[in-house]
């Protein structure tokens, strides 16, 4: 038996190598983990750390919920947010600040996820902040179809800039257009949407905390 695991784009890569290659596989779409499953993943990691280190690192329910929420159920997101928060902790209790600081700091969790999975789509291929502002409201709809009218209303940039962004993002294969229905677009994967949502959430929280301090 031979198996492959990856993002949805792995099927297209198989087709590019040989058109008949997908016939060798049974495609199984894995849904994001449920909230309780996400919590068990983090707790399991902390239990292993306790056995190896000889002491316990505590985590409160609100912090556990925050990691679960930011990850949106994607295992590699859970692993990265939890690992980074664990590494940030200095008092054997993972708190909200540990999660936020470890997520948004240089080379933190969001940067690591971005480099590994989304850097090309969100940074390398996009030179304009207005284009990213178009992706932001689309991410709130996960990978569901969103109308051009909704994007214009939610993006916070001019209609002309939205139109230019949609054309550029489509041509660069960062967003997808719906066949047979004009003016509808979506992000290519749920995980890309989850990363954008997490990036915005942590950034907003981090900036709010900084404003309070200064």
Do 92 and 153 share a structural domain?
no
Residue 22: domain span:
1-30
Q: Which pLDDT does position 213 carry in this prediction?
A: 43
CATH number of the domain encompassing residue 84: 1.10.8
Do 83 and 21 share a structural domain?
no
Q: Which pLDDT does position 54 carry in this prediction?
A: 94
Instruction: Using alpha carbons, select from 157, 114, 110 the residue that is nearest to residue 135.
Output: 157
pTM here is 0.71
Return mean pLDDT, the chain. 87
118 within a domain of the structure (yes/no): no
119 within a domain of the structure (yes/no): no
CATH number of the domain encompassing residue 141: 1.10.10.10
- Cross-strand partners of 94: 59
pLDDT in tens, 116-146: 888 777 776 777 788 888 999 999 998 899 9
Do 80 and 15 share a structural domain?
no
Q: In degrees to the nearest 10, what's the CA dihedral of 174, 179, 22, 139?
A: 40
Do 131 and 91 share a structural domain?
no
Do 45 and 95 share a structural domain?
yes
Flag residues of the chain having pLDDT under 50.
213-214
Q: Which pLDDT does position 87 carry in this prediction?
A: 95
Q: Which pLDDT does position 203 carry in this prediction?
A: 74
The residue ranges of DSSP E strands in 87-164, in sequence order, are 93-94, 146-147
- 188 φ, ψ (degrees, to nearest 5): -70, -30
**How many domains, in total, are found in the chain?**
3
Question: For residues 134 and 132, what is the distance between their CA atoms, to the nearest angstrom?
Answer: 5
What are 58's two structure tokens? 């505590």
175 within a domain of the structure (yes/no): yes
Do 74 and 25 share a structural domain?
no
Q: Which pLDDT does position 214 carry in this prediction?
A: 39
Q: How many CB atoms lie within 10 A of CB 208?
A: 10
3-class SS at 167? Answer: helix
212 within a domain of the structure (yes/no): no
């Amino acid at each position: 038996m031979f198996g492959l695991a990856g993002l949805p784009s792995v099927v297209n890569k198989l087709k590019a190598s040989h058109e008949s290659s997908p016939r060798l596989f049974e495609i199984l779409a894995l849904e994001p983990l449920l909230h309780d499953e996400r919590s068990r993943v983090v707790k399991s990691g902390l239990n292993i750390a306790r056995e190896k280190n000889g002491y316990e690192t505590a985590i409160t329910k609100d912090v556990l919920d925050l990691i679960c929420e930011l990850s949106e159920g994607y295992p590699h997101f859970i692993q990265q947010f939890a690992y980074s928060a664990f590494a940030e902790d200095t008092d054997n209790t993972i708190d909200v600040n540990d999660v936020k600081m470890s997520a948004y700091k240089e080379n933190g969790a969001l940067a690591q996820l971005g480099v590994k999975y989304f850097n090309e789509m969100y940074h390398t291929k996009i030179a304009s902040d207005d284009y990213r502002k178009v992706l932001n409201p689309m991410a709130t709809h996960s990978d569901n179809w969103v109308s051009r009218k909704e994007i214009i209303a939610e993006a916070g940039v001019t209609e002309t800039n939205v139109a230019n962004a949609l054309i550029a993002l489509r041509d660069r294969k960062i967003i997808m257009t719906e066949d047979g229905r004009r003016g509808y677009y979506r992000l290519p994967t749920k995980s890309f949407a989850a990363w954008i949502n997490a990036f915005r959430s942590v950034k907003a929280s981090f900036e709010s905390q900084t404003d309070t301090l200064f």
